[in-house]
Amino acid sequence: MSDALLQIRNVKKWFNSKDKRLMVIDGVSFDVQEGEFISILGPSGCGKTTLLRIIAGLEKQDEGEILLRGKSISGPGQDRAMVFQDYALFPWRTVLGNVLFGLEIRKIQKKEALEKAKSFIKLVGLEGFENSYPHELSGGMRQRVALARALVCEPDILLMDEPLSALDAQTRNVMQAELVRIWEETKKTIIYVTHSIEEAVYLSDRIAVLSKRPAKLLELVNVDLERPRDRFSKEFVNLRAKIFKLIQS
Ligand SMILES: Nc1ncnc2c1ncn2[C@@H]1O[C@H](COP(=O)(O)OP(=O)(O)OP(=O)(O)O)[C@@H](O)[C@H]1O
Ligand SMILES: [Mg+2]
């Protein structure tokens, strides 16, 4: 028996496209430990989002299984929350309203919900913006709202699909550092999809490197670098180069 939080076991997935079956994921297996920050890294179109959606329970694999605390996943659940690239905020709700949303549908008592929402807004660095609307915020701030909205429901696992890729390079770097801070404060398990090698090396404890489609696991790379990480250190640059070569091969 593995004591991993999540076990991904020989997952295979095909899509029907026109008259043929397109294989997208070809037997991917790895474990995710509690509290770990793990990235799924691979070239565009290789099947990263599909794998994340399967973990979220939004998509069904054709073969293999995914176990969460030893139990097979059969659909979405409160134990997993997803953060998307396009934020997916409600434009008609304020920052506070957006963060409250998940608590409202869970029928959490109003006073408790308000306190919780405010504390998570503070955690993501948006204190003072509770009454702003999404269109009044920058991209980085919107992603902070999306993060607070996902975290406030206290899922076991946070699933993130290229959440920073719509941001400019500088904001993206700031948000990467913020994400590490928030991860350290909340001790969440994070599964993070990206096609940026630099981002994966900056953020992760481990990186699941996928091949081009159909996605196979090329290697699980350990990132044994102290945080906060220096993108220009020799070790960082060497690891980037190693993963780059791995993907090219
Ligand atoms: N619902 C669907 N029906 C048919 N084909 C699909 C469906 N969803 C994804 N695909 C195909 O599966 C492949 C993998 O898609 P996926 O979105 O998982 O890749 P990705 O690695 O997330 O790519 P990107 O880096 O561009 O986000 C692509 O070829 C895509 O066209
Ligand atoms: Mg994708």
Structurally, the chain folds into a number of domains equal to 2
pLDDT at 43: 94
Question: Are residue 99 and residue 213 in the same domain, yes or no?
Answer: no
Amino acid (one-letter) located at 139: G
Question: Are residue 68 and residue 190 in the same domain, yes or no?
Answer: yes
Q: Which domain holds residue 127?
A: 89-154
- Of all protein residues, the one whose alpha carbon is nearest to atom 5 of ligand 1 is 15
pLDDT at 18: 86
Q: Which of 154, 170, 204 is the last residue of a domain?
A: 154
> What whole-number distance in Å separates Cα of residue 27 and Cα of residue 16?
18
DSSP-derived secondary structure letter, 135: G
- Of all protein residues, the one whose alpha carbon is nearest to atom 23 of ligand 1 is 45
CATH number at residue 214: 3.40.50.300
Question: Are residue 232 and residue 201 in the same domain, yes or no?
Answer: yes
Q: Which of 154, 175, 194 is the last residue of a domain?
A: 154
Instruction: Give the dihedral of Cα atoms 5, 72, 215, 21; nearest 10 deg.
Output: -170
Q: What angle do CA 158, 45, 209 make, to 5 degrees?
A: 60
DSSP string, 54-73: HHHTSS--SEEEEEETTEE-
Q: Which of 107, 126, 154 is the last residue of a domain?
A: 154
Residue range 228-244: mean pLDDT, rounded: 98
Per-residue pLDDT of 116-156, as tens digits, reads 999 999 999 999 999 999 999 999 999 999 999 999 999 99
pLDDT at 1: 61
**What's the pLDDT band for 196 if we cut at 50, 70, 90?**
very high
- Of all protein residues, the one whose alpha carbon is nearest to atom 25 of ligand 1 is 44
Question: Are residue 185 and residue 234 in the same domain, yes or no?
Answer: yes
Domain annotation covers residue 1 = no
Q: Could you tell me the strand order of the sheet in which 37-41 lies?
A: 80-83, 157-161, 189-194, 37-41, 206-210, 217-222
Kindly tell me if the per-residue pLDDT of 212 is higher than 90.
yes
Pocket lined around ligand 1, Cβ cut-off 6 Å: 15, 17, 24, 42, 44-50, 195, 213
**What's the pLDDT band for 19 if we cut at 50, 70, 90?**
confident
> What whole-number distance in Å separates Cα of residue 235 and Cα of residue 241?
10
> What whole-number distance in Å separates Cα of residue 78 and Cα of residue 152?
11
> What whole-number distance in Å separates Cα of residue 1 and Cα of residue 8?
14
Scanning the chain, the segments in alpha helix (DSSP H) are 48-56, 95-105, 110-123, 139-151, 169-186, 197-203, 234-248
Question: Are residue 171 and residue 236 in the same domain, yes or no?
Answer: yes
Domain annotation covers residue 84 = no
Instruction: Give 66 Cα–ligand 2 centroid separation in angstroms.
Output: 20
Instruction: Give 52 Cα–ligand 2 centroid separation in angstroms.
Output: 9
pLDDT at 114: 97
Structure-token pair, residue 19: 């008259």
Q: What angle do CA 174, 49, 242 make, to 5 degrees?
A: 65
Residue range 232-239: mean pLDDT, rounded: 98
Q: What is the CB neighbour count within 10 angstroms for residue 221?
A: 19
pLDDT at 82: 94
> What whole-number distance in Å separates Cα of residue 156 and Cα of residue 164?
21
- Of all protein residues, the one whose alpha carbon is nearest to atom 3 of ligand 1 is 15
Per-residue pLDDT of 45-88, as tens digits, reads 999 999 999 999 999 999 999 999 999 999 999 999 999 888 78
Question: Are residue 161 and residue 243 in the same domain, yes or no?
Answer: yes
Closest alpha carbon to 205 in 3, 39, 41, 80: 39
The percentage of the chain sitting over the pLDDT mark of 90, rounded to a whole number, equals 93
Mean pLDDT score of the chain, rounded to an integer? 96
Question: Are residue 47 and residue 164 in the same domain, yes or no?
Answer: yes
Domain annotation covers residue 140 = yes
Question: Are residue 46 and residue 164 in the same domain, yes or no?
Answer: yes
Residue range 86-115: mean pLDDT, rounded: 94
Q: What is the CB neighbour count within 10 angstroms for residue 122?
A: 13
CB proximity list for 201: less than 8 A, separation 6 or greater: 207, 223, 225, 229, 236, 239, 240, 243
CA distances for 1 relative to 64, 74, 166, 233, angstroms: 17, 20, 40, 39
Question: Are residue 136 and residue 21 in the same domain, yes or no?
Answer: no
